């Protein structure tokens, strides 16, 4: 099965427990991605952007050259996984993100980040250091029965979800929610439980979407400071 990928990378880190960050997105890279990447980029050892084959092939050329701010941290490489000739849906880059990450060696965690996510992580590496990547663990907004923001998958969780990821197509849902529905279905089929979006001290996985209205964004950030769960704060 073949699908182009756009791989953006590489940030080195001396610490053990390497984190591969994958951003399911459209091509060309959105201005939102350029604006919010600084909120999560520092904790990644490698950054990959998963894009639609048709979009990439149709618009490559001067696209990257126009986005000079993005080139400060982006190195372009191309890898290939599955065919999307039937058209782009939000689910395809998410599926490819899981397939790609599962095939990589040398990483302990996958951080899958939506391309307009402002992710407030106080101490991501310290948070993950309390867990073993050999255990099937998932963290993030999937704990709220929705998936905007960031999800973290241990190496063992990726191995568990990879065999079922091809069976999680979302069916008839609104385009903006298709990827969310399919991801939650995959977790269920892989017998994975998504744990809290934030730990007891509020140290980890609060995030907010750049597209959210300002009052809701402020409520989420206040919840971070108070150590409350993102799910409760977003109601």
> How high does pLDDT run on average in the chain?
65
List, in sequence order, every residue forming a beta bridge with 80; answer none if it has no partner: 4
Q: Are strands 109-113 and 19-24 parallel, antiparallel or unpaired?
A: parallel
Q: What does the pLDDT read at residue 212? A: 55
Q: Which CATH number fits domain 4-233: 3.90.550, 3.40.50, 1.20.120, 3.30.160?
A: 3.90.550
Q: What does the pLDDT read at residue 31? A: 66
Of the two residues 86 and 161, the one the predictor is more confident about is: 161
Bond from prior residue into 195 cis (ω within 30 degrees of 0): no
Task: Give tens-digit pLDDT for 25-45.
Answer: 766 666 667 666 777 777 788
List the domain boundaries for the chain: 4-233
Per-residue confidence at 157, pLDDT binned at 50, 70, 90?
Answer: very high
Share of the chain above pLDDT 70, in %: 42
Share of the chain above pLDDT 90, in %: 7
Residue 204: φ, ψ to 5°: -125, -90
Bond from prior residue into 110 cis (ω within 30 degrees of 0): no
Of the two residues 13 and 20, the one the predictor is more confident about is: 20
Mean pLDDT of all residues in 93-120: 80
């Amino acid at each position: 099965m073949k699908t182009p990928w756009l791989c953006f990378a590489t940030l080195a880190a001396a610490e053990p427990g390497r984190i591969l960050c994958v951003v399911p997105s459209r091509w060309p890279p959105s201005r939102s991605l350029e604006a919010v990447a600084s909120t999560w980029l520092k904790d990644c050892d490698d950054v990959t952007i998963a894009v639609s084959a048709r979009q990439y092939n149709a618009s490559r050329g001067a696209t990257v050259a126009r986005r000079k701010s993005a080139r400060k941290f982006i190195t372009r490489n191309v890898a290939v996984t599955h065919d999307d000739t039937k058209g782009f849906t939000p689910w395809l880059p998410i599926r490819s993100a899981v397939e790609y990450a599962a095939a990589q060696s040398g990483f302990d965690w996958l951080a899958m980040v939506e391309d307009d996510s402002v992710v407030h992580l106080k101490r991501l590496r310290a948070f993950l250091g309390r867990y073993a990547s050999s255990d099937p663990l998932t963290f993030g907004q999937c704990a709220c029965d929705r998936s905007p923001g960031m999800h973290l998958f241990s190496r063992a969780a990726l191995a568990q979800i990879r065999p079922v990821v091809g069976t999680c197509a979302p069916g008839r849902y609104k385009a903006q929610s298709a990827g969310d529905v399919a991801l939650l279905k995959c977790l269920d089929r892989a017998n994975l439980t998504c744990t809290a979006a934030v730990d007891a001290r509020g140290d980890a996985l609060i995030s907010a979407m750049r597209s959210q209205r300002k009052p809701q964004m402020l409520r989420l950030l206040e919840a971070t400071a108070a150590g409350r769960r993102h799910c409760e704060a977003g109601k």
